[in-house]
Structure 1
Amino acid sequence: MADTLPDILAERLSVIFCGINPGATAAAAGHSFVSPSNRFWRALHLAGFTPLQLRPQDDATLVEYGYGLTAAVGRPTRSAADLSRGELVAAGAALEAKISRYAPRFVAFLGKPAYGAIAGKAVIPWGPQPDRFGGASVWVLPNPSGLNRAFTLEALVEAYRALRLAVG
């Protein structure tokens, strides 16, 4: 298994999507959101971020559309539940420095756990947040993992589309 996944970043992107951490399958494949059950690429396309549905092996092309990918914690795991809250908190400073360095308009956390731990907040609403992170506006989106059964594909698309409309 790879040590981690490389970030897909460029300066001044519209949005950097921030996952909790790479899945073991994605790290082994060397591409983000590679599991067939993960709905990230489909939700991104259906929400209007990309004109076609990208494949995981095309993840590096995301910057051509003005978007990037990173993770709060670089260590791959079989499940994000394998990360401790302390590990998420400890990752906050480096992640904030990275966001400051690349200066996107928005950073979109995929799921509440990472942002909640890093921001030190127990209750996080979905959508736009009142605080900035590394100079970027913060948005919290549902995690697209197939394990997240609380959100149908349609609900994911609706949440992602709200961010797409805010981006303009």
Structure 2
Amino acid sequence: MERVDQYRDQAAVQWARLRNTYQRYLDIATPHTVYRWAATYVLMFLFALRIVLCEGWYIVCYTWAIYLLSMLLQFLTPKFDPSLEQEYENESIEEGTAKMSDKDEEFRPFIRRLPEFRFWLNATRGTVIALVCSLFRVFDIPVFWPILLIYFVILFTLTMRRQIQHMIKYRYLPFDIGKARYGRK
């Protein structure tokens, strides 16, 4: 019994050491946005190349693409949804509990539902998992891939159209295009 406890303690120590090492590398990679995304794009290219050359694992590829689409939507969506805030304000006005003020036009910064680092980390993890799944024949389920491709394109188009309409309606831009940056040479 003591021997089992000793092995369990050693495993816990090794697991903690592995977690700390992983976190240290994540901390080192955090400020290097361009290099992080470049590495992720290389992984995505390798995965796509594997799918095309092996002509299989279309379900894995479709699942991966849907996962990336859902994360992209979270990345483009504000943390505090303006449509929900507007509904709350309308209910308060109808009940007579809200105060109308000029504060409604106050500048509020865009805060993402999914921060860029989390988006990168989840995209990289998802790509690595999809790449590993493409190494095993058990995940190569036979399917007519053009149907999956057409369905994904339709899903992407409808979803992005709705997201862009939401962005136009509530006047927010989830990108830093054209915004002033200070402290750069």
Smaller-chain TM-score range?
Answer: under 0.3
Q: Which has the higher helix share?
A: 2
> TM (normalized to structure 1)?
0.23
The structure whose Rg is larger is 2
Q: Which has the higher strand share?
A: 1
